[in-house]
Chains A and B, each alone.
Chain A
């Protein structure tokens, strides 16, 4: 499977100063979430931290693109701080906040983005455990290959697990969001700034605990000089390679 990726951008707390490893080490005590100046105040007031970081990277990824792109959104846990609060309210037999409930569905983020940008293109929302990032990339590839779309906005977000769930963590925790614009490689994309990559996978059962999420590993690899890499999850090995430009 071959795709061309451009405008990849990532947000995590202090991403201007800290590497991903340093940010994980640093912890998340005093996070300043993105301000989102492009969102009108009456709409901004309802956005959670999760929504803010995801909408920021989505906005940055398409800032110089004139047409409306279909979207694929992926997140392993979704807006879990919000969902877990709702679940706690249910358990305590409290009434649920209509606002929180309305924005707790998995496709809330791309839907908010579609409202804010008046984009009426199709949206998919995906979650697939440790493979959430790579499986969503497959969904992007399938949509491109089907001919229904030339370019797709891919948004990925995950927030550090809330206290209640930290005991179940099997990956390092860092609140982060990634967005990029994906198309099929072509003569045209050869002339554009970005990276053409190939990826495939094999089924492989293994126990992977304490690794870095694939979304972060992928972004690191995309930005470094390494031509190939392998991302491993509990169920798959993902083989990634960058296309080498032929002179």
Chain B
């Protein structure tokens, strides 16, 4: 299922117009927001929408869990895999 991680990275790059960043620049365990990749709250909304559209999963906008799901590629991978199962 390593492909899903690459797919998620590409989705992040395309959705958020990260022109200068490649798949290899995003680490699986690195923070996506603030530290690490440095995404912000608008990115979170944009990315949430893209994940919802692409994988047809439900995302609760205000829960603490959602924050956790979007913390890194590893967390996002686990969330999408579980939601689709």
Taking beta carbons and an 8 Å cutoff, which residues of A are in contact with B?
41-42, 45-46, 95, 97-99, 102
Given A41-B20, A98-B42, A102-B42: 19 more A-B contacts, CB < 8 Å: A41-B19, A42-B38, A45-B16, A45-B17, A45-B18, A45-B19, A46-B17, A46-B42, A95-B49, A95-B52, A95-B53, A97-B46, A97-B49, A98-B45, A98-B46, A98-B49, A99-B42, A99-B45, A99-B46
Q: List 10 A-B pairs, Cβ < 8 Å.
A: A41-B19, A42-B38, A95-B49, A95-B52, A95-B53, A98-B42, A98-B45, A98-B46, A99-B42, A102-B42
**B residues within 8 A CB of A95?**
49, 52-53
- State the CA gap A99–B46 with chains docked (Å): 7
- State the CA gap A238–B35 with chains docked (Å): 54
Least Cβ–Cβ distance between A82 and chain B, in angstroms: 14
Question: Chain B: how many interface residues by the 8 Å CB criterion?
Answer: 12
- State the CA gap A19–B76 with chains docked (Å): 52
**A residues within 8 A CB of B17?**
45-46
Least Cβ–Cβ distance between B42 and chain A, in angstroms: 6
Least Cβ–Cβ distance between A194 and chain B, in angstroms: 38
Least Cβ–Cβ distance between B35 and chain A, in angstroms: 13
**B residues within 8 A CB of A102?**
42
Least Cβ–Cβ distance between A159 and chain B, in angstroms: 19
**A residues within 8 A CB of B20?**
41
Nearest residue in B to A46 (C-beta to C-beta)? B17
**A residues within 8 A CB of B45?**
98-99
Nearest residue in B to A103 (C-beta to C-beta)? B42
- State the CA gap A220–B68 with chains docked (Å): 57
Least Cβ–Cβ distance between B54 and chain A, in angstroms: 12
Least Cβ–Cβ distance between A227 and chain B, in angstroms: 48
Least Cβ–Cβ distance between B57 and chain A, in angstroms: 14
